[in-house]
């Protein structure tokens, strides 16, 4: 078991690892057997509330020339966009509600309210990220191709601008996500088929054209004399959604305790070892139910990585079982307040923008950045895959 070289797992025997895998499988089976009307009611009610918020926001913004209406409409629209992207769109496209067999709430048909096409996101996120979570050279979510977020990544003078790149990524997060599956590095190094790149760009352009037209032309025109103020309201709501999504996602992947892995640690990996990697590669944050709903239940990032296709409303009960397993097997369970998780993430980003921070775990590929795996290489991967993973 190559992942047994990781110090947090070194005390486990092969038998314990296998038993732990069976226990995680049992959690999945028990939740799947219990899914029913209350779960379907949860997602349908949430979608209903979100759509009513959108209507209330759009009606209010007809009077957006008046400051109180602008503030109220912008706030309602920002909340609606956050709910749709985080707790609804993200989780529906993970297949969490496919068991309902509702064609309207299904991973194969849902298209979310953002510039990123569902097709590209499901490949880069559902398949690549959730299968190869935090594996350097496989998972391009480790720094999103522009940030050095772990000392295992070699330093380059380009990293000096990291505070600026990070701020821009936060402000323009939906645009970064939209371009993410293009794999700019592979294009630059001519490792990607130009025909596939052109196809993806056409899909992205269609989605961008639709989103920009909706937010910055159609609805502002419907506002009549309030055209300009509605444009600024929509832009502000998108900005708020971008900043919130960025913070939540970074808090689940880059605070202290969320580790990265080397490619050799995938060797011989089976489902129990995959579970262990998910457990150590993510971090949770604490908060009330409203905070978790607004964050897409990604305050339970550990549980989400262990069971990405189980309904998000079940994560609180799953978390109690996962924490108990961690206590039993003496495994880390990284959790803390939201402000502390982001504070640690920001500190790491600033620190690693400078030379001199390195890790003893960096063994292979010393001094160079590992290229992201091509689609062909990913197709040849014969280890355990994340549920709902698919290569287009």
pLDDT in tens, 65-102: 999 999 999 999 999 999 999 999 999 999 999 999 99
Question: pTM, whole model, 2 decimals?
Answer: 0.89
Helix (H) or strand (E) holding 285: strand 284-286
* Rounded to 5°, angle at Cα 58 from 54 and 64: 140
**Backbone φ, ψ for residue 284 (5° rounding):** -105, 165
On whether the CB atoms of residues 354 and 139 are closer than 8 A, the answer is: no
Q: What is the pLDDT of residue 143?
A: 87
* Rounded to 5°, angle at Cα 290 from 288 and 295: 100
Structure tokens given for 15? 């038998």
* Rounded to 5°, angle at Cα 258 from 255 and 260: 125
For residue 57, give the 3-state DSSP assignment: helix
Q: Is residue 59 over pLDDT 50?
A: yes
Q: Could you read off the pLDDT of 160-198 as tens digits, one per residue?
A: 999 999 999 999 999 999 998 888 778 878 888 889 999
Q: Could you read off the pLDDT of 15-40 as tens digits, one per residue?
A: 999 999 999 999 999 999 999 999 99
Query: Looking at residues 207-230, what average pLDDT do you find?
Result: 95
**Could you tell me which residues come within 8 angstroms of residue 12 by beta carbon, excluding any fewer than 6 positions away?**
4, 20, 329
Helix (H) or strand (E) holding 56: helix 37-60
Q: Is residue 217 over pLDDT 80?
A: yes
**Backbone φ, ψ for residue 33 (5° rounding):** -70, -20
Q: Is residue 269 over pLDDT 90?
A: no
Inter-axis angle of helices 338-351 and 162-171, nearest 10 = 140
């Amino acid at each position: 078991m190559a992942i047994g070289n990781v110090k947090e797992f070194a005390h486990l025997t092969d038998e314990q690892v296998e038993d732990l895998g069976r226990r995680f499988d049992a959690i999945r089976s028990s939740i799947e057997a219990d899914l029913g009307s209350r779960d379907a009611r949860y997602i349908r009610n949430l979608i209903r509330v979100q759509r009513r918020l959108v209507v209330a926001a759009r009606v209010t913004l007809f009077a957006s020339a008046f400051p109180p209406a602008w503030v109220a409409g912008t706030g309602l629209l920002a909340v609606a966009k956050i709910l749709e992207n985080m707790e609804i769109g993200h989780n529906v496209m993970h297949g969490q509600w496919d068991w309902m067999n509702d064609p309207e709430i299904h991973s194969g048909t849902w298209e979310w309210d953002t510039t990123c096409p569902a097709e590209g996101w499901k490949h880069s996120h559902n398949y690549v990220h959730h299968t190869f979570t935090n594996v350097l050279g496989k998972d391009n979510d480790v720094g999103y191709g522009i940030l050095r977020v772990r000392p295992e990544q070699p330093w380059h003078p380009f990293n000096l601008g990291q505070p600026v790149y990070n701020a821009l990524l936060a402000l323009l997060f939906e645009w970064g996500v939209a371009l993410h599956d293009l794999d700019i590095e592979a294009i630059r190094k001519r490792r990607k088929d130009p025909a596939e790149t052109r196809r993806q760009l056409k899909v992205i352009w269609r989605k961008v054209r639709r989103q920009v037209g909706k937010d910055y032309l159609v609805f502002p025109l419907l506002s009549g004399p309030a055209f300009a103020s509605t444009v600024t309201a929509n832009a502000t709501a998108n900005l708020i959604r971008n900043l919130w999504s960025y913070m939540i996602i970074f808090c689940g992947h880059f605070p202290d305790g969320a580790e990265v892995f080397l490619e050799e640690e995938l060797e011989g990996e089976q489902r129990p070892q995959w579970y262990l990697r998910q457990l150590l590669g993510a971090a949770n944050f604490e908060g009330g139910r409203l905070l978790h709903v607004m964050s897409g239940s990604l305050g339970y990032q550990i549980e989400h990585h262990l069971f990405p296709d189980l309904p998000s409303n079940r994560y609180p009960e799953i978390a109690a079982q996962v924490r108990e397993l961690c206590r039993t097997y003496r495994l880390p369970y990284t959790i803390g307040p939201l402000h502390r998780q982001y504070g640690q993430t920001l500190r790491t980003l600033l620190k690693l923008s400078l030379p001199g921070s390195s890790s003893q775990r960096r063994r292979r590929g010393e001094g160079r950045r590992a290229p992201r795996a091509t689609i062909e290489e990913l197709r040849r991967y014969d280890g355990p895959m994340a549920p709902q993973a698919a290569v287009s």
